[in-house]
Amino acid sequence: MSRRRATISFVVVSLALVIAFGTPAISQTPKAGGTLNITQREDLPQGFAIHETSTISTVWPAMPCLNNLVLFDPLKKTESLDTIIGELAEKWSWQDNYRNLVFFLRKGVKWHDGQPFTSKDVKYTFDMLREAPDAPAKLRINPRKDWYTNVQTIEAPDPHTVIFHLKRPQPSLLMMLASGYTPVYAAHVPPANYRTACIGTGPFKLKEWRKGEFVEFVKNPDYFVKGRPYLDGLKYIVIAERGTRTAALQSGAVDVAFPGETTKTAAEQLKKAVPELAVTPYSQNVNDNIIMNMKKPPFNNAKVRLAVSRAIDRRALVQAVHQGGAVVGASMAPKPHGFWGLLDRDLNALPGYGKPADEKPRAKQLLAEAGVTPQNPLKVEMVTRAIAVYVDMASFVINELKQIGIEASLKQIETAQWHATATRGDYQIGANLTGIGPDDPDANYFENYACGSPRNYSFYCDEQVMKMIEQQSQELDPKKRFAQVAALQKKLEDDAARPLLDWKLDYFVHRPFVKNLIPHQSIYNFGRMQEVWRDK
Amino acid sequence: MKSYVAQRLGIAILTLVGMSIVIFTLLRLAPGDIVDILFSTAGYVNESEKQAILKELGMDRPYWIQYLDWMRQILTGDLGKSYRYDVPAWEVIRPLVPVTIELAVLSIIVAVVLGVPTGVISAVRQDTTLDYVLRVLSLAGLSMPSFWLGMVIILGMVSWLGWIPPLTYVKPTENFRAHAIQFALPALAVGYRSSALIMRITRSSLLEVMREDYIRTAWAKGQAERVVIWHHALKNAILPVVTVIGIEFAFLIGGLVVTETVFNLPGVARFLVQAILWRDYPIVQNLVMFIAIVVILSNLFVDMLYGVLDPRVRYGG
């Protein structure tokens, strides 16, 4: 084919496509203006103090006010080292074989109260987070201190440079810094003030927080990204009643649902009622799992733990409890929702992930080896949080355990007592949910499986696993690290450290005119709203 | 009269003191506290950090000191600080009060406007088709929880009109029409249930009075039905109805939890439940005291009203 003919063919095909599908490039040009009404399922539990909480109820409405050093690209669904973009850091560079992480900060950035942003703010924030001996401030509650155990010192040689000195290489530190959990606080504002107000550098400034009603933001005219944000304002409306939330979405009184709230069934019903609604299924990075107290009998016996893991038909649970709105996976979110998930072949070979007809007899065999027989049955108490999503899962698991000869009674624990019960180990076996910030092994394993971690509710502690966690954390070759993480996932399931049941999906709903609000691989990382606009 | 009111107010103060002890004790008996909840949102618990927060909030002190401190705060007009919001409790409570009072008053107005006339008609037309229809309607009102009716109203609005009432509180000075619509629907849902009760009380009370000799005399004298019913009978039948209205109003101040939640109205009852879940003691304690004060005052008001409605009622010293 001659070059001219090829060019003509290309033009003809392009024109045909444009005629067939319209002109997306033109219609998708962002428009400025308008306010977005966004659902908030409860009032902000800790105000805007993201560093003092783990709940999405704080992270979601507080993110627009703040900025990170780096952030997962809001326009990309995938979260990885390749999709991290600069926010307060214009550039960054690894030095000394990944032992020093140098950030070059943007110039001319101002806090919402007019004070200049400098490297002092970054050092202040991260010294406070890692509880450095000379930290100028202390958080009341510091749930992610463990993320920064590898940071030795933080240096601010000039107002626009910050250096994180690490004890050992840790390439995925960037992943944690890019999470919605990791904003930079202002050094001149006491951390307690973020519980009632928000002085950030973010695209939106706090206008009003009417307790129990709404949080309203207005566009930050001094935002450091030219032309952003597109919207004039955001209004997060607190709607505590689930039925009213659905009605509000259906009627158009709100434009965006609360992340992590819409089940598959609810999304289908909404779509049927209002066909033009946009529904996007994505992984919340929240999993259902079983915690077994290894400090006490009978779950200090690995065979009993493994029997429990093998007894639970995960695929049936996904159908029965989540109506298909979840996916089966090991300790990292499965593909295509997560990057690190095991291949189906490897997953199906793990204990508990095979065919129920094969798994249940093996579970009974393991129990028999542990001395549990019909004459000597095992009676346990299963605890769970007194919230429907927990109780449904626990009830299903109890029924599965019954089939292999474990008699479990259900004890519901009120939210106020739930984490205290789990952390203290005042339980035998429990049905639990675990949310993970970024889709990264470091964020998950140090927090939930490392010896001595306060969120390691099973008290699982294995020297080999600790070495594997450390090893993958400092591995610089992505392929090697992937293989190491796969081996780690297999080891944890083989040990029934905290048997994973499924990874929940959210069916994120918004009105069709809401553009550039793209759910990521985790509910905690896409709330900045800087790129969002209304096509209306 | 004055000494009666003074006596009642004295008893009210004793009641409030007793109430304060009960609510203070019950809250501390419930498992968990605000610090447990705070850690719950963080997903872990650290004992030393927990102790530090308890100290910061003054919750490490003996209970009796905490109680006396609360009493001192009430007497000085300072309601303490919300544990959850870290702002003065009064700042949190103040905007809630008018919302709930307005909703309760409107609901009672709806209830009286619907309940009293239908009760009278039902009594006067006893055992007719109209009576049966009204009794069925009132029974339906008593059987349907107002929150369920509220949800049906909302879902009906969305399905048929593609519209729901405002989701955030609209002040009457901002937009009176939107404000009126925002309150009209929940007031109808709640008022309908209360009207059913009022209708039944009105009917039974009126039927009893209608059998009295003086009513028979009035009929014998050839007085018009309107005069007999509204001037002679209803005036004497209304006392139990007024009692029920007073009780209903007092109940509504604290009992609108689900209606406020369904219609997303930022009122006392909805907030009280949230505060209980968060173990936000200063908010819970002061809101319960507010509800108790309203109950006591509405009872006192009803008792005072007896004297106006029935001249035979005399207040002892």
Question: DSSP letter string over A151-183?
Answer: EEEEEEEETTEEEEEESS--TTHHHHHTSTT-P
Total residues found in chain A within this entry? 536
Tell me the C-alpha to C-alpha distance, in Å, between residue B83 and each of A46, A213, B61: 10, 18, 16
Residue B123 lies in a domain: yes
A162 and A63 housed in the same domain = yes
Q: In angstroms, what is the C-alpha Rg of chain B?
A: 24
Find where tokens 């298909």 sit: A324
Residues 34-73 of A with CB under 8 A from B: 42-43, 45-47, 52-55, 57-58
- Chain-centre distance of CA A442, in angstroms? 13
Chain B residues whose CB is inside 8 A of the A235 CB are 168
Find where tokens 């009204």 sit: B134
Query: How many Cβ atoms sit within 10 Å of the Cβ of residue B48?
Result: 6
Check: CB of residue A475 under 8 Å from CB of residue A442. no
pLDDT along chain A (536 residues), means of 10: 52 46 56 96 93 93 98 94 96 95 97 98 98 95 92 97 97 95 98 96 97 96 96 96 92 95 92 95 94 96 97 97 95 93 93 94 95 89 92 96 95 87 94 92 94 92 96 94 97 97 96 96 94 94
A92 and A165 housed in the same domain = yes
Residue A498 lies in a domain: yes
User: CA of A526, closest CA in chain B: separation in Å?
Assistant: 20
Chain B residues whose CB is inside 8 A of the A251 CB are 157-158, 162-164
Domain tally, chain B: 1
Rounded-to-integer distance, Cα A394 and Cα A416, Å: 19
Residue A113 lies in a domain: yes
pLDDT given at position A416: 79
Chain A residues whose CB is inside 8 A of the B262 CB are 241, 243-244
pLDDT given at position A3: 53
Peptide bond before residue A298 is cis, with ω within 30 degrees of 0: yes
Q: Positive or negative CA dihedral for B58, B60, B62, B67?
A: positive
User: CA of B99, closest CA in chain A: separation in Å?
Assistant: 12
Peptide bond before residue A229 is cis, with ω within 30 degrees of 0: yes
Find where tokens 């009803």 sit: B302
A530 and A485 housed in the same domain = no
Rounded-to-integer distance, Cα A442 and Cα A440, Å: 6
Rounded-to-integer distance, Cα B210 and Cα A478, Å: 92
Domain tally, chain A: 2
A217 and A300 housed in the same domain = no
Which of A212, A247, A273 shows the shortest C-beta gap to B164?
A247
**Chain B residue closest in CA terms to A424:** B45
pLDDT given at position B146: 80
Rounded-to-integer distance, Cα A471 and Cα A526, Å: 30
Residue B201 sits in a domain whose CATH number is 1.10.3720.10
| Helical segments of A326-435, H only | 344-348, 356-369, 388-402, 415-424
Tell me the C-alpha to C-alpha distance, in Å, between residue A337 and each of A75, A286, A439, A503, B276: 16, 11, 9, 9, 38
Residue B120 lies in a domain: yes
Q: How does DSSP classify residue B81?
A: B
Average pLDDT, chain B: 91
Check: CB of residue B167 under 8 Å from CB of residue B245. no
* Interface probe with B: pick from A419, A446, A453, A456, most Cβ of B within 10 Å: A419
Q: Where do the DSSP E strands lie in A56-116?
A: 70-72, 84-86, 89-95, 100-105
User: CA of A43, closest CA in chain B: separation in Å?
Assistant: 9
Tell me the C-alpha to C-alpha distance, in Å, between residue A86 and each of A23, A105, A230: 31, 9, 19
Residue A510 lies in a domain: no
User: CA of A130, closest CA in chain B: separation in Å?
Assistant: 15
pLDDT given at position A9: 54
**What pairing do the DSSP bridges indicate for beta strands A500-510 and A406-413?**
unpaired
Residues 435-474 of A with CB under 8 A from B: 435, 454-455
Packing angle of the helix pair B281-309, B63-75 (nearest 10 deg): 50
Residues 273-332 of A with CB under 8 A from B: 273
For B24-61, the pLDDT digits (tens) are 999 999 888 999 989 888 888 888 899 999 999 999 99
In the three-class reduction of DSSP (H, G, I as helix; E, B as strand; rest coil), residue B255 is classed as: helix
Give chain A's end-to-end CA distance (angstroms, integer): 45
* Interface probe with B: pick from A38, A58, A141, most Cβ of B within 10 Å: A141
Tell me the C-alpha to C-alpha distance, in Å, between residue B223 and each of A60, B209, B212, B220: 71, 16, 15, 8
Residue A98 sits in a domain whose CATH number is 3.40.190.10
Check: CB of residue A426 under 8 Å from CB of residue A446. no
* Interface probe with A: pick from B55, B158, B263, B277, most Cβ of A within 10 Å: B158
**Chain A residue closest in CA terms to B51:** A140
pLDDT given at position A27: 52
Query: How many Cβ atoms sit within 10 Å of the Cβ of residue A155?
Result: 13
A178 and A295 housed in the same domain = no
**Chain A residue closest in CA terms to B52:** A140
Phi then psi for B255, rounded to 5 degrees?
-110, 15
A333 and A223 housed in the same domain = no
Residue B36 lies in a domain: no
Rounded-to-integer distance, Cα A273 and Cα A278, Å: 12
Burial of A482 (0-12, 13-18, 19+ CB in 10 A): middle
A197 and A312 housed in the same domain = no
Chain A residues whose CB is inside 8 A of the B46 CB are 141, 454
* Interface probe with A: pick from B57, B167, B169, most Cβ of A within 10 Å: B167
Rounded-to-integer distance, Cα A315 and Cα A511, Å: 32
Residue A28 lies in a domain: no
Rounded-to-integer distance, Cα A260 and Cα A326, Å: 12
Q: Do A141 and B39 touch (CB under 8 A)?
A: yes
Chain A residues whose CB is inside 8 A of the B168 CB are 210, 213-214, 235, 237
**What is the extent of the structural domain holding A65?**
35-238+523-534
* Interface probe with A: pick from B33, B35, B38, B44, most Cβ of A within 10 Å: B44
Residue A294 sits in a domain whose CATH number is 3.10.105.10
Q: How does DSSP classify residue B233?
A: I
Rounded-to-integer distance, Cα A344 and Cα A320, Å: 21
Q: Do B167 and A237 touch (CB under 8 A)?
A: yes
CB neighbours of A273 closer than 8 A, spacing ≥ 6?
A250, B159
A217 and A363 housed in the same domain = no
pLDDT given at position A4: 57
Residue B105 lies in a domain: yes
User: Is residue B100 over pLDDT 50?
Assistant: yes
Q: Do A419 and B44 touch (CB under 8 A)?
A: yes
pLDDT given at position A326: 96
Burial of A408 (0-12, 13-18, 19+ CB in 10 A): buried
Rounded-to-integer distance, Cα A84 and Cα A71, Å: 6
Rounded-to-integer distance, Cα A113 and Cα A195, Å: 17
Interface size between A and B, measured as CB pairs under 8 A: 142
Task: Give residue A352's region: left, alpha or beta (phi > 0; psi -120 to 50).
Answer: left
A393 and A432 housed in the same domain = yes
Residue B127 lies in a domain: yes
Burial of B171 (0-12, 13-18, 19+ CB in 10 A): exposed
**What is the extent of the structural domain holding B192?**
96-265
Q: Do B264 and A196 touch (CB under 8 A)?
A: no
Chain A residues whose CB is inside 8 A of the B96 CB are 212
Rounded-to-integer distance, Cα A294 and Cα A301, Å: 8
Which of B41, B84, B151 shows the shortest C-beta gap to A243?
B151
Query: How many Cβ atoms sit within 10 Å of the Cβ of residue A223?
Result: 20
Q: Confidence class of residue B135 from pLDDT cuts 50, 70 and 90? A: very high
pLDDT given at position A21: 39
User: CA of A352, closest CA in chain B: separation in Å?
Assistant: 27
A212 and A293 housed in the same domain = no
Residue A5 lies in a domain: no
Which of B44, B86, B271 shows the shortest C-beta gap to A423?
B44
Residue A487 lies in a domain: yes
pLDDT given at position B41: 85
Check: CB of residue B72 under 8 Å from CB of residue B150. no
Give chain B's end-to-end CA distance (angstroms, integer): 7
For A46-89, the pLDDT digits (tens) are 899 999 998 899 999 999 999 999 999 999 998 999 999 999 99
Residue B304 tokens read as 């005072």
Residues 146-205 of A with CB under 8 A from B: 192, 195-196
Residue B274 lies in a domain: no
Rounded-to-integer distance, Cα B225 and Cα A284, Å: 70
Which of B31, B46, B164 shows the shortest C-beta gap to A248?
B164
Q: Do B274 and A252 touch (CB under 8 A)?
A: no
Q: Do B158 and A251 touch (CB under 8 A)?
A: yes
A408 and A319 housed in the same domain = yes
User: Is residue B316 over pLDDT 70?
Assistant: no
Which of A341, A340, A362 shows the shortest CA–CA distance to A351?
A: A362
pLDDT given at position B312: 74
Residue A130 lies in a domain: yes
Which of A509, A253, A208 shows the shortest CA–CA distance to B167?
A: A253
pLDDT given at position A56: 92
Chain B residues whose CB is inside 8 A of the A454 CB are 44-46
Q: Do B39 and A52 touch (CB under 8 A)?
A: no
Which of A211, A250, A417 shows the shortest C-beta gap to B92?
A211
A314 and A177 housed in the same domain = no
In the three-class reduction of DSSP (H, G, I as helix; E, B as strand; rest coil), residue A309 is classed as: helix
**Chain B residue closest in CA terms to A254:** B167
* Interface probe with B: pick from A234, A244, A245, most Cβ of B within 10 Å: A244
Q: Do B154 and A247 touch (CB under 8 A)?
A: yes
**Chain A residue closest in CA terms to B91:** A211
Residue B139 lies in a domain: yes
